[in-house]
Chain A
Amino acid sequence: MIQLRPIYVICLREFIKFFREKSRLLGTLARPVLWLFVVGNGMSALIRPQAGFSYLHFIFPGMIGMTILFSSIFSSISIVWDREFGFMKEMLVAPISRVSIVIGKAISGTFISVAQAVIILALIPFLGIHITFMQFLEVVAVSVLVSFCITSLGILIAARLTSFDGFNIIMNFLVMPMLFLSGAMYPVTSMPPVLRHLTQINPLTYGIDAFKHVLLRDGAPPLGPEFPLSLDLLVVTAISVVMLTLAALSFRKKE
């Protein structure tokens, strides 16, 4: 049921379009840059460094998570565009399985998100943060996992979204809460119990926690990682598998 040539060409199309639309690349990169340089620096003056980590250090893992979140959601929302502009029909009447379409979209979305995460990593010298080459590789590895997870979630949503009207709702009621309840910008340990529970069902919390393991290795809560690394990776992987399966199923039913 999984056909490699269609998956390859679906990915190739996404990459070509991604590099052709410069505004999209610029848009997704502008947000974390703004946070890091403007908000990060502003807040660093207000918040005392703890255990050797400044606020800028603290939000860096979160900013990688944020970049992946927005990039992955935008990539998977391209399914709604394809449907709106008719291109989805070209894929649906071709002799390829629905699963191949879903996998093609998931892989291309993952690669595009990882590419953007790496671009954010390139900012490190300008922030006064030092990482080893090993840490760099570890961040890329975690990025692949987190990107795949969020892209799969996005595809599941896009498969059910029939028009662009739903997109704003998704942004305001899912993507933004996911960002604010993930520990990207402030520690979640000190939050009220209700919000604490919400952070615990948010897949991005575990993804960002894994980034903290790599980048804030010696940090302790509240600034450092909260869960064991093995738990983070397990949760992200499990959610990916569930999301992708549900996405493939709902894709098959819907069309």
Chain B
Amino acid sequence: MSIITVSNLTRTFKSLTAVDNASFSVEEGEVFGFLGPNGAGKTTTINILCTLLAPTSGTAAIAGHDCVRQPDQVRSAIGLIFQDTTLDSGLTAYENLKFHAYLYNLDRKLTEKRIDEMLGVVELTSRKNDLIKNFSGGMKRRLEIARGLLHYPRVLFLDEPTLGLDPQTRNTIWEFITTLRKREKITVFMTTHYMEEAENCDRIAIIDHGRIIAEDTPAKLKELVRGDTIHLVTEDNARACAEISRIFGIECHEENGGLFIETERGEELIPRLIHGLTVTVKSVNLRKPTLNDVFLKLTGRTIRDEVLADEREVTREFVRSHRRAQR
């Protein structure tokens, strides 16, 4: 059964179309990822799903409740973790959770037990009565995950859950999400522009300029990109290259003192290569296609380029405003 159903969803802001006729559905119990560069329409979609924003056209429903007509039922069924922290830094961890329990009308007897339980899961029990202003970024994120799950939501939304966190903390957060998912049996809907994170999802929708351009499992999506790349360094690259085309009938090209071979099932070719070549092989490297290659294939750009372009834009904007100020 689909727990999230979105059909022909469109949202425009003046001349900008943030979400353009998007349709998708998420099955109960899945981890569903929304992958795309900054400004692709990920957050806008989440804001519509969590009833903060009305769509221009199209419909969205969660657990059978329409996001526009039945906002309260939708809100009770979802937990949210936003890009920026939404904790009250002047309150303690316990007070933040208690506030949440009251807003969601959680059963009074259950509240204390559930707060202790969730604090334990995110390993913050010892910080229960500490003010949030003394928490690190990773601790805040963990507490927000605990809070988002406090009222037994059926869907947990995570908007760029690891943005601005260091790689180690990022891994910890992912461990929590994986554990919690098994424990609480909930559906996870997340957005990200980190390829490595998207690999953890059961299914991914790739969104670009507000349009969903692909939707499938990470493995299936990667099949869109044909084959693996083997990078080979030998004692005599030219001779090796000639032998590869003669013996194996595979094209290869030499670049930067190494050979690049494009093939399918590269892991099976490597032993045959080393066995068959008369030239001594110095090193072998196999590269499997990544989601970044998928994005490149579908849009002609990589997500990383997009991020860099954004940063350049910010720099340019800064220079412009600086010049204006000097005038």
Q: A90 to B91, Cβ gap below 8 A?
A: no
Q: Which of A8, A21, A87, A92 contacts B102 (CB 8 A)?
A: A8
By the criterion CB–CB under 8 Å, are B91 and A93 in contact? no
The size class of the interface chain B forms with chain A is: 20 to 34
**Does A52 reach chain B (CB closer than 8 Å)?**
no
A85 at the interface (CB under 8 A from B): yes
Judged by a CB distance under 8 angstroms, whether B308 is at the interface is no
Determine if B80 is an interface residue (Cβ-Cβ < 8 Å): yes
Whether A221 is near chain B, meaning CB under 8 Å from some CB there, is no
B224 at the binding interface (Cβ < 8 Å): no
Q: Do A85 and B89 contact each other (CB < 8 Å), given the known contacts A90-B100, A93-B80, A95-B75?
A: yes
**Interface presence of B172 (CB below 8 A):** no
Question: Mask for A25-38, Cβ within 8 A of B = 1, else 0?
Answer: 00000000000000
Q: Please tell me if the beta carbons of A6 and B82 are within 8 angstroms of each other in the complex.
A: no
**CB-CB < 8 A to B71: which residues of A?**
95
**CB-contact partner of A13 in B52, B78, B91, under 8 A:** B91
Given contacts A16-B91, A95-B75, contact A90 B86 (CB under 8 A): yes
A89 to chain B: which residues have CB within 8 Å?
52, 80, 82, 86
What is the chain A residue whose CB lies nearest that of B75? A95
Question: Could you tell me the distance between the alpha carbons of A21 and B91 in the complex, rounded to whole angstroms?
Answer: 11
Beta-carbon contacts under 8 Å, A178-198 to B? none
A5 close to chain B: CB less than 8 A: yes
Q: How many A-B residue pairs have CB under 8 A?
A: 64
Residue A20 interfacial (CB < 8 Å) = yes
Q: Are the CB atoms of A6 and B102 closer together than 8 Å?
A: yes
Partner of B95, one of A8, A16, A86, A92: A16
CA distance A28 to B15 in the complex (A): 47
| Interface residues as binary, B70-107 with A (CB distance below 8 Å gives 1, 0 otherwise) | 01110110101010111111110001001110111100
| Residue on B nearest A17 in the bound complex, by CB | B90
Q: Does A94 contact B (CB under 8 A)?
A: yes
Inter-subunit contact B103/A9 (CB<8 Å): yes
Interface presence of A255 (CB below 8 A):
yes
A95 to B77 CA separation, bound complex (whole angstroms): 9
- Closest residue of B by beta carbon distance from A255: B52
Determine the distance from Cα of A95 to Cα of B98 in the docked complex, in whole angstroms. 15
A5 contacts across to B, CB distance below 8 A? 102-103, 105
**Closest A-chain residue to B53, C-beta based?**
A255
Q: Determine whether the beta carbon of B105 is less than 8 Å from that of A95.
A: yes
User: When chains A and B are docked, how far (Å) is the Cα of A9 from the Cα of B102?
Assistant: 7
Complex alpha-carbon distance, A90 and B72, angstroms: 14
CA distance A53 to B62 in the complex (A): 68
Does A145 interact with chain B (Cβ within 8 Å)? no
A93 touches B102 (CB 8 A): no
Taking the closest CB of chain A, its distance from the CB of B149, in whole angstroms, is 14
B88 close to A13 (CB less than 8 A): yes
Q: How far is the CA of A2 from the CA of B102 in the complex (A)?
A: 14
**B51 interface residue (CB < 8 Å to A):** yes
Known A95-B72, A95-B75; judge A87-B95 contact (CB<8 A). Answer: no
Q: Cα distance A240–B98 when bound, in Å?
A: 31
Bound-complex Cα distance A86 to B72 (A): 20
- Chain A residue nearest to B108 (CB atoms) is A5
Neighbour of A95 across the interface among B52, B82, B99, B104, CB < 8 A: B104
A9 interface neighbour in B85, B87, B90, B99, Cβ under 8 Å: B99
- Would A94 and B90 be within 8 Å (CB), given that A89-B82, A255-B52 are in contact? no
Beta-carbon contact of A92 and B100 below 8 Å: no
A residues contacting B by CB (< 8 A) are: 3, 5-6, 8-9, 13, 16-17, 20-21, 85-87, 89-96, 255
